[in-house]
Amino acid sequence: MWLNLANSRRDTVLWCHTTNKAALKALGVKAGTIAMVKDFDDKNPVFTGDASSSDKIVEFIEYHRTPVALLVKKGDQDALKVVFESEKKTNVFLFTTDKDAGVDAFKTAVQDVRGKMISARFHDSDFAEAFQHFGLDKFIGDASLPKVLIEDRKNGLRYLMEGDVTEKSIKKFLADFKVEKLEPFLKSEPEPESNSGPVKVIVGAVNFL
């Protein structure tokens, strides 16, 4: 089962097995243990579930294999691959400043969806193109940062959280997404100051009526 699972998900993580006693001792595990070795967050998590269940092992891997609130920098192809590799997995993003405003609350709040969603963050001073891609370019350099956005890749929808970025508000935002209570966010041009001429300008859903 182990080899079949490794072959089926070889692009996800690097799979290894060993009987080396020194390696087992260094990791603090016994023979037959499934563990991960990484250089972020909880660095050596040990699987404690049913080792005969491939689904449980995959769940363990998905939970631990990516950093919480992964910082995606411009040109970082490895990070971009993590964020966009699955067309079915939902992303939750923190758009913030290089001071990482809101990151502590974000990291704590997204623990509840870890393994089910990819959590990542972008800095406006480094990756303005990411802000533009998601229709948030008006917030670049703005005092209203940070912003939290959910990208539902499966259904091609995005949701922008309103209000202050706190642990409580993010958790509610994620809970509302789960029960489909959110209104989609539409990438749009700003609403015109005057729209009284013979040709009406429609932007997003803000001034449609």
Above pLDDT 70, what percent of the chain? 89
Q: Rounded CA gap, 124 and 31, in Å?
A: 47
Between 87 and 43, residue with greater pLDDT: 43
pLDDT of 57 reads: 93
Q: Rounded CA gap, 195 and 46, in Å?
A: 61
Checking if the pLDDT of 201 tops 70, the result is: no
Mean pLDDT calculated for residue range 142-154: 96
Above pLDDT 90, what percent of the chain? 67
> What average pLDDT does the structure give for the chain?
89
CATH of 70-178, one of 1.10.540.10, 3.10.560.10, 3.90.930.60, 3.40.30.10: 3.40.30.10
Mean pLDDT calculated for residue range 130-153: 95
Look up residue 162 and give its two tokens: 């309103």
Q: What is the pTM of this model?
A: 0.82
pLDDT of 188 reads: 60
Checking if the pLDDT of 65 tops 80, the result is: yes
User: What are the residue ranges spanned by the domains of the chain?
Assistant: 2-64, 70-178
